[in-house]
Structure 1
Amino acid sequence: MKNITFSAEETLIQQAREVAHRHKTTLNQAFRLWLESYARQQDVERFNQLLDHLQGRLHSGGRRFSREEMNERR
């Protein structure tokens, strides 16, 4: 695991430590969870774009398929 250094207002860091303590965790662990979530935002955006694209393919000439047509086995 790589260490990083960041800076923030001292009062903000103290408040964050208190919140982490109330949640029975450390500021380091809370930051790791936030960093992971922040890094995965791009994955979520790509997934949403894929869903939009696939939903567009469920249409044919502006006509929506019925539930029966979408579940039809061939």
Structure 2
Amino acid sequence: MFAMQTLNIVWNGIAVWRPVQRRAGKQARNKTQKLLNFALRAHISKITRLHLNSIFKLIRGGTAVNRYEATNALAVTLE
């Protein structure tokens, strides 16, 4: 249950901020990062958080295939 909620928060956050990032640059990136940190704050260990951060980099900056694979990796990690 918690995993799906976190995944939804993160995925919605990326969907919302991704187009904004291209236009607004640093401010939007900071907001995206804050949103991701908020989603990750509870119940996730430091090691997992580092792992997830690398996955988020793929989701935010990668090609469509990378984003798809990274999202699957994220779902597995959160389970």
Query: TM-score band (shorter)?
Result: under 0.3
Could you say which structure has the higher helix fraction?
2
TM-score of the pair, normalised by structure 2:
0.26
TM-score of the pair, normalised by structure 1:
0.27
Could you say which structure has the higher strand fraction?
1
Bigger radius of gyration = 1
